[in-house]
Amino acid sequence: MAHRRLRRSARDAAAQLALEIYERIEKLHAELLRRRTKDAVPAEIDLRLRASVHSAERRQAAAAFAAQLTEQMEEEIAQRLAALSPLVPGHVYCFWCESARCEHAAPPHSRAVFAGYEPNGLPRWDEFASFCLAAKAPRVHQLHEEPPRPFTLFMHGNLLTKKQLAEFGAASTTFRILCQAVVGYFLLGGNDSARKTAVTIQAVETCAGRRAPVLALNIVGRTPSGGHLVDEVARMPDRRMAELFQKARSRIKDLGLRRTRPERERELASCIRHVAAGLEKIHRQESRRTKHARLRHLDPSRPAANALSDTARAGKGDFFNDRRRTTCIVLGPRGRTHVFNADGKHVTSMVAGGEDIERRLHTTQWVPMPDEQREALKARILGAKED
For residue 276, what pLDDT is reported?
95
Q: State the average pLDDT for the chain.
A: 83
Of 19-23, 191-195, 298-302, the range with the lowest mean pLDDT is 298-302
Q: What are 225-255's pLDDT values in tens digits?
A: 888 888 888 777 778 888 999 999 988 888 8
**In this structure, what DSSP letter does residue 349 have?**
E
CA distance 198 to 9: 72
DSSP SS3 for 203: strand
Q: What are 44-80's pLDDT values in tens digits?
A: 777 787 888 877 888 888 888 888 888 888 877 766 6
**Are the C-beta atoms of 296 and 307 separated by less than 8 Å?**
no
CA distance 97 to 119: 13
Give phi and psi for 308, each to the nearest 5.
Answer: -70, -45
Q: What are 326-341's pLDDT values in tens digits?
A: 899 999 988 889 999 9
Better-scored residue on pLDDT, 26 or 183: 183
* Residue in 53, 171, 59, 80 with CA at minimum distance from that of residue 117: 171
CA distance 205 to 338: 47
Per-residue pLDDT at 13 exceeds 70: yes
DSSP SS3 for 239: coil
| pTM score of the predicted model | 0.59
Q: Is the peptide bond before 108 cis (omega within 30 degrees of 0)?
A: no
For residue 291, what pLDDT is reported?
52
Of 106-115, 148-157, 376-385, the range with the lowest mean pLDDT is 376-385
For residue 103, what pLDDT is reported?
92
**Are the C-beta atoms of 351 and 334 separated by less than 8 Å?**
yes
Give phi and psi for 179, each to the nearest 5.
Answer: -165, 160
* Bridging pattern class, strands 336-340 and 327-331: antiparallel
The H or E element containing residue 275 is: helix 261-297
pLDDT-derived band at 256, boundaries 50, 70, 90: low
Domain ranges (residues) in the chain: 2-84, 112-292, 301-382
* Residue in 88, 126, 92, 87 with CA at minimum distance from that of residue 108: 126
* Residue in 300, 301, 285, 299 with CA at minimum distance from that of residue 347: 285
CA distance 190 to 343: 8
Of 235-249, 270-284, 349-363, the range with the lowest mean pLDDT is 349-363
